[in-house]
């Protein structure tokens, strides 16, 4: 690691100017990394994150609760529904345990493809490729706004057989997709390409529990050039149109299948409030 990299991660020394990784301005992936307790973030990210924390004090709890929910959802699909193929779009900076580590902890032969459009994530992608020898992982540098390009990527088709069920993970992603980009159409195009028996795994920030805090948080992101839209329960539920929801349906993540929680979870699901978390989460199957 360079001296500049050390300074930027510890918060000492001058911040570098904008570069291909845009260290000089906040970035959603690095802010999320900060909220999860990671170290792959810079001064601009921490400054923006501090503003969010003053408006939404529960945001770090929300990020970690959402992450713990993702682990439970993947564990459920691998252990109870026999899913062995996973497509994770909007991967973000790797934070252990990553999706493939959770899935392969249940089924070592599981195959996982990660997708992100962020050069920051690309720089860390090697951490996502450490598969168990029985399984496979791959990384595709791609964008949810181009679903057909992602699905046709040779790196994806070499690892995943789209004629067989796949779990499509869109965790904490779609609130960064504004309405003008057609988020419902994008999700539908992805789901349409999957085989019957596939699953959609989705979580999304909502204003339903603490509208003032979440709306002001959106303004912080917008002021940093990060687009997006937080959505109500009805708006989030619309992403699951035509799919069969898995019990308990669309739920706050800290009450979704808490029987699957493990002792290494970062958040004890019973110790958080709906206002702190302000997420909806759900899993649904394509018939």
Which of 18-32, 38-52, 187-201 has the weakest average pLDDT? 18-32
Cis peptide before 89 (omega within 30 of 0): no
- Backbone dihedral angles phi then psi of residue 113, each to the nearest 5 degrees: -120, 125
What would the mean pLDDT of 93-119 be, rounded to a whole number?
Answer: 93
Max CA-CA distance within the chain? 55
Q: Return d(Cα 3, Cα 11) in angstroms, integer.
A: 12
Which pLDDT score is estimated for 3?
Answer: 29
Q: Residue 129 contacts by C-beta under 8 Å, 6 or more apart in sequence?
A: 137, 138, 139
**Do residues 119 and 95 touch, judged by C-beta distance below 8 A?**
no
Q: Return d(Cα 232, Cα 204) in angstroms, integer.
A: 9
Interval 30-77: pLDDT, tens: 888 888 888 878 888 898 888 888 888 888 899 999 999 999 999 999
**Do residues 176 and 264 touch, judged by C-beta distance below 8 A?**
no
Interval 267-284: pLDDT, tens: 445 589 999 999 999 999
114: Cα within 13 Å, side-chain hemisphere: 25
Which pLDDT score is estimated for 270?
Answer: 59
Which pLDDT score is estimated for 2?
Answer: 29
Kind of pairing between the strands at 111-116 and 199-205: unpaired
DSSP 271: G
Residue of 286, 162, 272, 176 lying closest to 230 (CA atoms): 176
Interval 163-185: pLDDT, tens: 999 999 999 999 999 999 999 99
């Amino acid at each position: 690691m360079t001296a500049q990299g050390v300074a930027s991660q510890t918060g000492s020394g001058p911040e570098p100017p904008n570069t291909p990784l845009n260290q000089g301005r906040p970035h959603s992936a690095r802010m999320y990394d900060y909220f999860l307790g990671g170290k792959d973030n810079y001064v601009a990210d921490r400054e923006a994150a501090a503003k969010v924390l003053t408006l939404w004090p529960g945001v770090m709890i929300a990020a970690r609760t959402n992450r713990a929910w993702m682990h439970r959802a993947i564990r459920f699909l691998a252990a109870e529904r026999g899913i062995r193929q996973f497509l994770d779009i909007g991967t973000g900076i790797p934070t252990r345990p990553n999706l493939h580590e959770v899935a392969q902890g249940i089924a070592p032969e599981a195959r996982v493809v990660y997708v992100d459009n962020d050069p920051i994530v690309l720089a860390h992608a090697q951490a996502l490729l450490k598969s168990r020898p029985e399984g496979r992982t791959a990384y595709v540098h791609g964008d949810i706004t181009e679903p057909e390009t992602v699905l046709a990527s040779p790196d994806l088709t070499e690892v995943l057989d789209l004629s067989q069920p796949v779990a499509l993970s869109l965790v904490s992603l779609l609130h960064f997709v504004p309405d003008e980009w057609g988020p419902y159409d994008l999700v539908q195009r992805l789901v349409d390409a999957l085989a019957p028996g596939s699953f959609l795994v989705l979580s999304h920030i909502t204003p339903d529990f603490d509208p003032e805090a979440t709306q002001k948080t959106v303004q912080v992101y917008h002021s940093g050039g990060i687009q997006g839209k937080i959505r109500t329960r009805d708006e989030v539920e619309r992403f699951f149109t035509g799919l069969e929801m898995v019990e308990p349906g669309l739920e706050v993540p800290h009450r979704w299948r808490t029987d699957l929680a493990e002792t290494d979870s970062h958040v004890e699901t019973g110790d958080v409030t709906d206002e702190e978390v302000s997420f909806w989460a759900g899993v649904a199957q394509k018939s």
